[in-house]
Structure 1
Amino acid sequence: MYDPDHETLVKALRQAAEQLTENRSIRDLETTVSKLVHAAVTTIPGASGGGISRTELGTVRSSHATDERIYELDQLQSDLGQGPCITAADDPPETGVVTATDLAGDDAARWPEFAPRCVRAGHRSLMSVQLSLHGERRSALNIYSHDPGVFDTSAQLTAGLFGLQAAVLLHGADHAAHLGHALESRDTIGQAKGILMERFTVDDDEAFQMLVSSSQETNIRLVDVARWLTEEAAARRAENQRRAPHDRR
């Protein structure tokens, strides 16, 4: 049985946690997730590669793969709609870990289309750890091995610990993305209100109500109305600047 090097494991997990608290941008978080996947592959004996599969509204995409072949195998599970990562993301056991001990043996029957193609690609076993439990977005950490029977209980526990860190990081990335969109929308609406206040000599509240009324009457989202208005104002300024030299002649 694999007995994990606890010092190496704790060090890798601590480093990931420190990076999580230090990072401030979505790019940093995504980079940290990639490093975490590589750390999991390095720490778990027999692992030959890894990646993350993310499911949203029925579509699965591969990300943070350690190499192109792993990316293709993760994506293959998405295209076929079957494989350990699909099972882990959508219908996992209580442990959250799905293990394919030998895709050329008994496990081939569980995923009849994926298993032989994964074996032909040089990977006999695969372990997938569910990373998210709620909402429309589901994800799994996938660890591949060239050899069969390498992912025992201890290896699954180690993968589960890395999975917890990856889940927190991905949640942070999603939260940062939503926050960024919210701030962008707020800025766009603020710019649109400023345009209306100047153009129609109204106050802040009146400008906002003009945007709301336009949104309701056109059945267009408020932020899209605001974006159209700011783009229209920018186009008008550009046109005025273009004409200015001719008007001075």
Structure 2
Amino acid sequence: MPFSPADFRLAEALTVAARQLHEQTGPQATLRNAVRLAVHLVPGADHAGIVTVDRDLVLTSVTWSDDVARSAQELTGMPGHRAFREQLWAAPVATLADTTGTNGPGQSLSVLGVRAVLALRLRTDRNRLTALVLFGGKPDGHDETSLRIGRMLAAHISVAHDSATVQEQLTEAMRTRDLIGQATGLLMAREGVDAAEAFDHLVRASQQQNIKLRELAQRYVDAAARPRDA
């Protein structure tokens, strides 16, 4: 199958976008960069945002490219746009082709200059989905090319976000392990017990005080770092 120069340019642009997404320092930074890339790459996308929608169809804004996108996301979470959110749960793509109907629920969106909406699912679990939402200034402004590029970009965003999330979790796990190790060492020195006994002491104290083990360990470390009163 022959490729046109436009196909090669698109492939190159998506390669650059994927690299930029994976270079971010955490999940939130990845998503902030994603909305900027969406506006830059997807035809008809003048503004972009990322939202979550739970099983009760409650929409929460995660990030946005600008104030218009933020306001538009808030409006799509209103009761008048329930059908749009239902559509997103039923299929990986949801659209509002023209928001200017005189009695339509999208009328308030048109006040913002938003005339078309395209939402693409990034990920779904049992209770919540995450979606990239593209807002355009022209009715029917998202064509097949918009959908094609948007879906490819959404796939890259999803992979990059999952990777950043796993990396953040691993980093946090390492920090927690080191923190608990420090607290255990402090208890060993103070109480004259071995590592197992010191750890058991931490666990029992955590349960008795009803706080997380990491938080309790942080208290021990912070207390040891404070200078003693003269």
| TM-score bracket for this pair, using the shorter chain length | 0.7 to 0.9
> CA, structure 1 residues 12+34, in 2 after alignment: closer, same or farther (shift >3 Å)?
farther
Which residue of 49, 65, 84 maps to 1:51? 49
Contact 2:50/2:131 (<8 A) preserved: yes
> CA, structure 1 residues 228+122, in 2 after alignment: closer, same or farther (shift >3 Å)?
same
Structure 2 residue runs of 5 or longer lacking an equivalent are none
> CA, structure 1 residues 41+14, in 2 after alignment: closer, same or farther (shift >3 Å)?
same
Query: Is residue 164 from structure 1 mapped to residue 155 from structure 2 by the alignment?
Result: yes
Deviations 1:32-55 (A, max 9, x none): 544443333233333211121135
- How far the C-alpha of 1:31 sits from its partner, in A, is 4.3
Partners of 1:195 and 1:100 lie apart in 2 by: 60
Instruction: Give the secondary structure class of the aligned counterpart of 2:129.
Output: strand
Instruction: Give the secondary structure class of the aligned counterpart of 1:148.
Output: coil
> CA, structure 1 residues 40+183, in 2 after alignment: closer, same or farther (shift >3 Å)?
same
Partners of 1:213 and 1:62 lie apart in 2 by: 38
Larger Rg: 1
Contact 1:103/1:116 (<8 A) preserved: yes
Which residue of structure 2 aligns with residue 10 of structure 1?
Answer: 11
Q: Comparing 53-62 with 216-225, which one deviates more in the overlay?
A: 53-62
Which residue of structure 2 aligns with residue 97 of structure 1?
Answer: 93
Which residue of structure 2 aligns with residue 72 of structure 1?
Answer: 71
Amino acid at match of 1:46: G
Alignment coverage as a number of residue pairs:
225
Query: Is residue 149 from structure 1 mapped to residue 140 from structure 2 by the alignment?
Result: yes
Instruction: Give the secondary structure class of the aligned counterpart of 2:171.
Output: helix
Partners of 1:14 and 1:104 lie apart in 2 by: 36
Query: Is residue 213 from structure 1 mapped to residue 204 from structure 2 by the alignment?
Result: yes
Which residue of structure 1 aligns with residue 61 of structure 2?
Answer: 61
- How far the C-alpha of 1:159 sits from its partner, in A, is 0.9
Which residue of structure 1 aligns with residue 217 of structure 2?
Answer: 226
- How far the C-alpha of 1:226 sits from its partner, in A, is 1.7
Amino acid at match of 2:7: H
> CA, structure 1 residues 80+18, in 2 after alignment: closer, same or farther (shift >3 Å)?
same
Which residue of 39, 42, 54 maps to 1:41? 39
Which residue of structure 1 aligns with residue 183 of structure 2?
Answer: 192
Instruction: Give the secondary structure class of the aligned counterpart of 1:159.
Output: helix
Amino acid at match of 1:100: L
> CA, structure 1 residues 213+81, in 2 after alignment: closer, same or farther (shift >3 Å)?
farther
Contact 1:49/1:144 (<8 A) preserved: yes
Q: Aligned-pair RMSD on alpha carbons?
A: 3.0
Which residue of structure 2 aligns with residue 130 of structure 1?
Answer: 121
Q: TM-score normalised to the size of structure 1?
A: 0.77
